Structure 1
Amino acid sequence: MEHAPTMTAVAARLTPGQDLLAELERLFAESGAGAGCVLACVGSLTTAVIRYADRPESATLTGHFEIVSLTGVLSPDGAHCHIAVSDGEGGTSGGHLMEGCRVYTTAEIVLGLLPGVRFSRPFDPQTGYPELAVETMQPEEE
């Protein structure tokens, strides 16, 4: 009986001042994988740059924020991630993760790498955005 390849994980800790999105994309690119996802992220930010639902512009929040959720799909074409952060009063904001989110004390990240799969983001004329395309790879194509 043949088994499908097993997902592998990459774990990293980001340090103060690093850009969360840029580092996610760097870690994924360095892995050489064709498809990945964010399995876990806990940490804090001093700047959160978030694009809220159905808004063309981003909002920049400054202060001290806990990362309460980060989820995303990683491809060689870039990352598509959503984040939720909470402030010192428990107020929570969330949306599309943008560049410029700066780590406060730490961001502890675990990425899942998916063998045998390649994600890409071709332009979808129906939505007007680059959208996810999933391709199953043959072992000799990986």
Structure 2
Amino acid sequence: MAIEPNDAMELAVVSSPLQSHAVRIPANADLVPSLLEAAHQAMQHSKAQSAFVMTAVGSLSTVTLRMAATDKQEPRSSKKRKAQDEGVSLAGSTALQVKTFPNHFEIVSLVGTFSKGGGKHLHMSVSNAQGQVLGGHLVGGKVFTTLELVLGTMPGVAFTREMDEISGYKELVVKPQQDTNSAEEKN
């Protein structure tokens, strides 16, 4: 049975061979800048314009997460329908909370994408000493002992971030990669 996409939904599926890149981020490193640098190096090495987290394990001494958006008044499902019908952004209809947790944590999940120009979208789950798990959109953190990271790159695929009128945020756009030779590489 074939699955029919929603009439309003346009899917851009671009395939590519996969390359993997392993890195260890040391103790006391700033988490997000280190992830961005690792992704930048992986993309540069593979001449790719896209990267993503394949797996990550390690520990943090602090983590800052943006919690799931909460609706300011009406249910999000009715806001989404209204936004789609009227072309209104959802961004102004939600409240965002950023929380910093200054305890030691084990990383139980890290997922996300990176774009060539430094764009990123990362979500993380961590567990504390009691085994309680919390998670959200990764804003920052500090590596405690180590972060063992494997990134994937997809030569031939470009991830960009462009403003989405319905969500009100810069969202992932997947495209075939144009020219892999940048102006810097030609000089």
Q: What TM-score do the two structures reach when normalised by structure 1?
A: 0.90
Q: Hey, what does 2:51 align to over in structure 1?
A: 36
Deviations 1:11-38 (A, max 9, x none): 1111111122111111112232201110
Q: Which residue of 1 aligns with 2:146?
A: 106
Name the structure 2 match of 1:116: 156
1:56 is displaced (CA, Å) by 2.1
Name the CA distance, whole Å, in 2 between partners of 1:103 and 1:41. Answer: 12
Question: Which residue of the other structure, out of 115, 119, 122, is the alignment partner of 1:81?
Answer: 122
Aligned residue in 2 for 1:59? 99
Aligned partner of 1:25 in structure 2 is 36
Percent of matched pairs sharing the same residue: 39
Residue 13 of structure 1 corresponds to 24
The alignment status of 1:50 with 2:75, answered yes or no, reads no
Aligned residues: CA RMSD? 1.4
1:88 is paired with a residue whose SS is coil
Q: Alpha-carbon deviations, 1:79-103, whole Å to 9, x = none? A: 101000000000110000112x100
Instruction: Give the stretch that moved more between structures: 117-126 or 72-81.
Output: 72-81
Q: Could you tell me how far apart the structure 2 residues matched to 1:76 and 1:21 are? A: 15
More strand by share: 1
Structure 2 length-normalised TM: 0.69
Unmatched runs of 5 consecutive residues or more in structure 1: none
Deviation (angstroms), 1:114: 0.5
Distance 1:62 1:53 in 2: 19
DSSP 3-state at the match of 1:122: strand
5+ residue gaps, structure 2, are 1-14, 70-94, 181-187
Name which one, 1 or 2, has greater alpha-carbon Rg: 2
Matched pairs, number: 136
Which structure's residues are more often helix, by fraction? 2
After TM superposition, which residue ranges in structure 1, 4 or more long, deviate above 4 angstroms?
A: none
